[in-house]
Chains A and B, each alone.
Chain A
């Protein structure tokens, strides 16, 4: 069984500050890990994904995440927040097989203060 836990349903940071969104995963098999962003009334857009290559994954819009097996974590960071980063962020996990499904976390709403 696989699952992800996102710590903090709402995170608020000032514009220009560091963004840190936390995600811990549980998986009985080596996982694929994802971060998605969702803007209001829209579908999901893939920010980045980990597929067992480099542990530090760089994504779009300046985001990156580091896979830490010892901590079962895949936290999302961005050095300097921008107002346009305000959105809902979902961490997700899947297995390697073709039958694997993506399991989503509960989401973290990111607010940016001017």
Chain B
């Protein structure tokens, strides 16, 4: 299957700093990318959906000013956690879908472990 990469794989930062996570589709063009967060021993919760060249659509309860998403190209989306706090510590996973239809498979990245001290 297609490959989605995330960078960094893990990051530790101080409270109040901003952290950027990159999500890349390596061998296909991703029309749509999704960002999830996963707390320990819990399921994935969708944070936002981004389509290349347009603003991201955030799920209810997700602060768009805190979690900035940019999908500037068909192979790259970034998630910036601004003014991070310890409660933002989580496992962040992105996925990418090549076509616009739901029948197109979503390919998941390996995840980024964020720890905010």
Q: Interface of A with B (CB < 8 Å)?
A: 32, 36, 41-46, 49, 51, 90, 94-98, 100-107
Contacts and interface: CB of A to CB of B under 8 A. Distances in A.
Contact of A90 (B43, B95, B106): B43
Nearest to B99: A98
B103 to A, nearest CB: 6
A65 B1 CA distance: 20
B105 A46 contact: yes
A49 B111 contact: no
Interface of B: 1, 4, 6, 34, 41-44, 46, 49, 91, 93, 95, 100-103, 105-106, 108-111, 113
A18 to B, nearest CB: 25
Contacts of B111: 41-43
A103 B106 CA distance: 12
A32 B103 contact: yes
Contact of A105 (B43, B46, B102): B43
Nearest to A96: B102
A107 B42 contact: yes
A21 to B, nearest CB: 14
Contacts of A90: 43-44
Nearest to B4: A43
